[in-house]
Amino acid sequence: MRKEKVLITGASSGIGLTCAIYLTFKGYKVIGTSRHPEKLNKDLLKNRYLEMHTKYLIKHRKSSKEILVKGKIHISKEILINLDNLIEKIKFVPLDITDSNSVSNTIPKLMSEGVRIIVNNAGDGHFGPIETLSIEHAKAQLDLNYFGHLRVIQNALPYMRKNGGFIINNASLGGYIPLPFHSHYSSSKAAIRMLTETLRLELKPFNIKVVSLNPGVINTPFNVNMHTPQAGSGEETYEYTEENSITSLKKLLNALPTPKTSPYYPAAKQTWETVVRNMIRGPSPQIVAKKLFKIISSKKPKVHYISSNFIQRFGYFLMRRITSDKLKIFITRKFYGI
């Protein structure tokens, strides 16, 4: 399937941007989407990419002296020297997958221009206690992470049924393992996995492959872009901007979304700090990009793929294969220290 046109939703950042660059490097014609492609330029995308591929060490962890020490950039030489050129080759189009008109104006056009592979990647997270996170936040989470992908798929299928195709849904290990204070995120990702399985049942006669790709914790600006409404108020408390880079550990740690007055504060604080530190120490999104390349090169793809470092994959293996559900919840609580 090499040299085919690939559409990646949410290609302005994180996993989407890295996959767009990697597949371009591998010879695919990549169309990436963003809600605001007019705001993207080569330097911005390059900086985001380099930042995610820079290793950071957390020193004096959890003490008042805690700092981030910048390490080396981990990207292959071939990509690094061609980075400007690779970014230049990606075609960015405007798309908001929560907006039905935006999807129905964009997807059929791209499909008729020859897109055969769709990577449903765009997504975000909402953090907060189930009791106080508003229904609006729960709906917004599902609207992007589940219905958003559904809109894209529904608009693409009439074209794929005629020409065949490949749909890769970016889910998450969080769809297998319950993440505390991310309940609607975890639910949306579990739903995407099930959508993948049911699509496989229905699309078998039409030569359309469907898989889910499930990354573990990957170092991207995901937490910086997290919706963190103050518990109970339904208001956004933290406005993240470009300057809040993923390296500004303290800023992020201090951006704990749950107020001190909340009965959930101790557990939310503990979870938030674990989540923030883990993501900074997580592998770069290149690991996901490589897995994506492997998937779309495969003639007989599996239903679900995991993409993460060894420790996370091993943890997942234990959780899935060995332990009971009760033990799974117990281990998760221990892991987050709650």
Among 87, 95, 117, 203, binds ligand NAP (CB under 6 A): 95
Q: Pick the catalytic residue: 49, 185, 264, 336? A: 185
Interstrand relation of 54-59 and 67-73 (parallel, antiparallel or unpaired): antiparallel
Phi–psi pair at 70, nearest 5 degrees: -75, 130
Among 155, 220, 228, 312, binds ligand NAP (CB under 6 A): 220
Is 159 part of the annotated catalytic residue set?
A: no
Give the C-alpha separation, 122 to 105, whole Å.
Answer: 18
Cβ 175 to ligand NAP shortest distance, Å: 9
- Determine if 212 is a binding residue for ligand NAP (CB under 6 A): no
Find, among 116, 90, 113, 91, the residue nearest to 2 by Cα.
Answer: 116
How many residues bind ligand NAP (CB under 6 A)? The answer is 31
- Determine if 34 is a binding residue for ligand NAP (CB under 6 A): yes
Contact 278, 272 (CB under 8 A): no
Cβ 14 to ligand NAP shortest distance, Å: 2
Find, among 115, 112, 129, 335, the residue nearest to 232 by Cα.
Answer: 129
Q: Which of residues 279-338 bind ligand NAP (CB under 6 A)?
A: 279
Contact 173, 312 (CB under 8 A): yes
15, two tokens: 């996993």
- Determine if 21 is a binding residue for ligand NAP (CB under 6 A): no
> Considering only 57-65, 104-112, 118-126, 133-141, which stretch makes contact with ligand NAP by CB under 6 A?
118-126
Among 7, 10, 30, 227, binds ligand NAP (CB under 6 A): 10
Look-up of token digits 């699509």? 199
> Considering only 19-27, 214-222, 236-244, 248-256, which stretch makes contact with ligand NAP by CB under 6 A?
214-222
Nearer to ligand NAP, 195 or 262 (CB): 195
Nearer to ligand NAP, 161 or 328 (CB): 328
Give the C-alpha separation, 80 to 76, whole Å.
Answer: 6
Nearer to ligand NAP, 19 or 256 (CB): 19
Give the C-alpha separation, 50 to 307, whole Å.
Answer: 20
Question: Reading across the β-sheet that carries 115-120, which strands appear in turn?
Answer: 91-94, 29-34, 5-8, 115-120, 165-170, 208-215, 304-307
Cβ 101 to ligand NAP shortest distance, Å: 13
Q: Which of residues 73-92 bind ligand NAP (CB under 6 A)?
A: none
Give the C-alpha separation, 98 to 327, whole Å.
Answer: 36
Among 6, 13, 116, 287, binds ligand NAP (CB under 6 A): 13
Give the C-alpha separation, 211 to 301, whole Å.
Answer: 7
Give the C-alpha separation, 188 to 190, whole Å.
Answer: 6
Among 54, 98, 245, 298, binds ligand NAP (CB under 6 A): 98
- Determine if 175 is a binding residue for ligand NAP (CB under 6 A): no
Give the C-alpha separation, 143 to 81, whole Å.
Answer: 39
- Determine if 221 is a binding residue for ligand NAP (CB under 6 A): yes
The residues that are catalytic are: 185
> Which chain residues interact with ligand NAP by CB under 6 A?
9-16, 33-36, 95-98, 121-124, 144, 170, 172, 215, 217-218, 220-222, 225, 279
